[in-house]
Amino acid sequence: MLFLLVLLSSALGAWVREPPVPEVRTRSQPVDGWVTVRLNHFDASNTETFQMRYYYNNEFATTNNIVIFVGGEWAISPGWVTGGLAHELAQKTGAGLFYTEHRYYGQTRPTNGTSVAELRFLTVDQALADLAQFIQYVQSDYFDSGRFRGGKVSLVGCSYAGSMATWMRLAYPHLVTAAFSDSGPLHAQEDFPEYLEVIAEALRVQGSHHCVESIAESVQKVHQELKTEAGAARISRLFNTCSPINGSDPLDVATFFWFGVTETFAYLVQYATPGDIATACAVLTDVNVSDPSERLANWITQQSWTQPCIQASYAAQVAAHTNTSYDAQQAVMRLWTYQTCVEYGWYQTTNGEEHPFLSTVPLSYFHRMCRDFFGDNFDENFLRQGIKRTNLLFGGLTFMPDGVVSRRRARPLVAGGHDPWSPMGPNATHATPLAPVYVASQVSHCRAIRSTKDSETEQLEVIKQSVLRNMQEFLAGKPPTTPDSSAAILTPVLFTLIVTFVSLVL
């Protein structure tokens, strides 16, 4: 029983956390509210409903405009209606500001538990329909005396919630006028080997080539040591695993590398602020520690998301992730993993070439996870059909809806930035005159949804100002302009005669 409680909090951790909340820039107190939405939007004969949570801040609401900060795979908190770019947009457009909670996450619980039968209403198409119903409600006479009747809606989201913002504009153009997606992946894909390659490139660029080589040396040594019983015992001790690693069980070895090593690096890069990676590399290349395994362990065990210990037992991970209580320690991970098994894939395997992690985390590991968490019919075929369905419903990267502004981090190889998600999102070649794409170098995950003042580079601040301007232009029914003359200019599709629309590419 105890081992169930001592679970690694980092599991796929980088994916399932609310973006770090911005500095509070308001004195008004946001209120939370609940709206009744349908359990199954796509079965007209099913009238079951549940309560969806949201936050509301009306401090700027001088018009009937509506700005929604879209909640993703996390519990919402008031922070994102009291600061950040959506807050700034609300101020500029005199809008009511909202933050919606995604079904099944946080307190928005459509079912009693998270059994597989209960999870069948956990899909993005249902979540988008919740948002649609939410918008309909806010625009109605029943919300705050009808002050938002006929109001225009802008959405802001990052990561998966950024994908949702884009897809809302695609699926409900009559409800959503403008959307900003900060690094939202749009293309579902089973294997996502680019992820760890981008992580490695970020370590190289922000740290050093030597840093990546040192990690490679460490991983090699750890991998070697795990092959003997004495070695596995030593690695278990060095890395502070919750129970001894069984080095002869490939599932346990993959669990150790995935939950303990690659995810720890992913977390570092995904949420890095300037200096973080260099600091990590100082430990990872410490000349005073001659043993490569020890060097890696020294850094890994210092990280907050490997506390109190690394759970390298696959059986323990399965036990934790099959608890069907919403309050289970790994409930959120269970929910997000379900979505990946049913809709997206996006598995961060070591199948790429350019990274220091050997072949420690194969795709088959995730196939196994889907089956062991949710049942035997969640097999590879099921997964591939689900991914195909998602790309069919939303078009992947083949179609960019008008009125959407996207920001992605540069592929490091191109511009020295570090965006693990960038290969799945739109880049400059996907931009259209009515759907600009901004590329920011040297900036990590979800940084463009913070306020303009809170920008680590001048380039990012300029991009945020352009995003705000484009959103206002969309609201006013005008085409977007991207005026920064110092930027390279891209005009991918120019059917327009009046204005030259450009996208900012650095």
Ligand X SMILES: *[C@@H]1O[C@H](CO)[C@@H](O)[C@H](O)[C@H]1NC(C)=O
Which of 34-42, 282-290, 327-335, 370-378 is the region at the interface with ligand X (rule: CB under 6 A)? Answer: 327-335
Beta carbon of residue 316, minimum distance to ligand X (angstroms, whole number): 11
Instruction: Provide φ and ψ at 487, rounded to 5°.
Output: -85, 150
Beta carbon of residue 140, minimum distance to ligand X (angstroms, whole number): 37
CA quadruple 446, 475, 103, 187: dihedral sign:
negative
Structure tokens at 29: 């107190």
Quick note: the x/- pattern for ligand X over 377-416, rule CB under 6 A, is ----------------------------------------
Q: CB-wise, 13 or 22, nearer to ligand X?
A: 13
Query: Is residue 458 within the footprint of ligand X (CB under 6 A)?
Result: no
C-beta contacts of 281-286 below 8 A and 24+ residues apart: 281/203, 281/207, 281/208, 281/210, 281/211, 281/214, 284/207, 284/211, 284/214, 284/215, 284/218, 285/208, 285/210, 285/211, 285/214
* CB neighbour list of residue 248: distance below 8 Å, 6 or more residues apart: none
Beta carbon of residue 323, minimum distance to ligand X (angstroms, whole number): 4
Beta carbon of residue 319, minimum distance to ligand X (angstroms, whole number): 7
Beta carbon of residue 324, minimum distance to ligand X (angstroms, whole number): 8
| Helix%, strand%, coil% for the chain, nearest 5 | 40, 15, 45
Q: CB-wise, 114 or 422, nearer to ligand X?
A: 114
Which of 100-108, 116-124, 180-188, 322-330 is the region at the interface with ligand X (rule: CB under 6 A)? Answer: 322-330
For residues 183 and 407, the answer to whether their CB atoms sit within 8 Å is yes
Q: CB-wise, 325 or 364, nearer to ligand X?
A: 325
- Contacts with ligand X in 75-114 (CB under 6 A)? none
Residues 164, 3: Cα–Cα separation, whole Å: 36
DSSP secondary structure string for all residues of 453-497: TS-SSHHHHHHHHHHHHHHHHHHTT-------TTSEEE-S----S
Count Cβ atoms below 10 Å from residue 5 Cβ, excluding itself. Answer: 9
Instruction: Provide φ and ψ at 396, rounded to 5°.
Output: 55, -130
Closest by alpha carbon to 425, among 406, 446, 448? Answer: 406
Q: CB-wise, 2 or 44, nearer to ligand X?
A: 2
* Local structure of residue 274 (DSSP, 8 states): T
Residues 137, 327: Cα–Cα separation, whole Å: 29
Q: CB-wise, 326 or 357, nearer to ligand X?
A: 326
Residues 278, 241: Cα–Cα separation, whole Å: 26
Helix (H, G, I), strand (E, B) or coil at 506: coil
- Contacts with ligand X in 329-348 (CB under 6 A)? 329
Beta carbon of residue 312, minimum distance to ligand X (angstroms, whole number): 19
* Local structure of residue 359 (DSSP, 8 states): T
Q: Which of 228, 325, 359, 496 forms a contact with ligand X (CB under 6 A)? A: 325
Closest by alpha carbon to 347, among 218, 195, 495? Answer: 195
Q: CB-wise, 4 or 289, nearer to ligand X?
A: 4
Q: CB-wise, 7 or 161, nearer to ligand X?
A: 7
Query: Is residue 2 within the footprint of ligand X (CB under 6 A)?
Result: no
Which of 189-197, 214-222, 320-328, 354-362 is the region at the interface with ligand X (rule: CB under 6 A)? Answer: 320-328
Query: Is residue 115 within the footprint of ligand X (CB under 6 A)?
Result: no
Query: Is residue 496 within the footprint of ligand X (CB under 6 A)?
Result: no
Query: Is residue 327 within the footprint of ligand X (CB under 6 A)?
Result: yes
Closest by alpha carbon to 294, among 237, 335, 342? Answer: 237
Q: CB-wise, 330 or 451, nearer to ligand X?
A: 330
> Which amino acid type is present at position 292?
P
Q: CB-wise, 327 or 353, nearer to ligand X?
A: 327
Query: Is residue 323 within the footprint of ligand X (CB under 6 A)?
Result: yes
Query: Is residue 4 within the footprint of ligand X (CB under 6 A)?
Result: yes
Beta carbon of residue 5, minimum distance to ligand X (angstroms, whole number): 8
Which of 24-32, 288-296, 324-332, 391-399 is the region at the interface with ligand X (rule: CB under 6 A)? Answer: 324-332
Prior bond of 185 cis (ω within 30°): no
Q: Say how many CA atoms lie within 13 Å of 56 toward its Cβ.
A: 17
Beta carbon of residue 3, minimum distance to ligand X (angstroms, whole number): 10
Which of 29-37, 319-327, 387-395, 417-425 is the region at the interface with ligand X (rule: CB under 6 A)? Answer: 319-327
Query: Is residue 328 within the footprint of ligand X (CB under 6 A)?
Result: yes
Beta carbon of residue 333, minimum distance to ligand X (angstroms, whole number): 13
Q: CB-wise, 320 or 506, nearer to ligand X?
A: 320
For residues 262 and 348, the answer to whether their CB atoms sit within 8 Å is yes
Q: CB-wise, 234 or 321, nearer to ligand X?
A: 321
- Contacts with ligand X in 197-236 (CB under 6 A)? none
Closest by alpha carbon to 390, among 334, 448, 433, 342? Answer: 342
Beta carbon of residue 329, minimum distance to ligand X (angstroms, whole number): 6
Binding-site size for ligand X (CB under 6 A) equals: 6
Which of 193-201, 321-329, 366-374, 380-388 is the region at the interface with ligand X (rule: CB under 6 A)? Answer: 321-329
Q: CB-wise, 12 or 331, nearer to ligand X?
A: 331
Helix (H, G, I), strand (E, B) or coil at 372: helix
Q: CB-wise, 93 or 329, nearer to ligand X?
A: 329
| Interface residues toward ligand X, by CB under 6 A | 4, 323, 325, 327-329
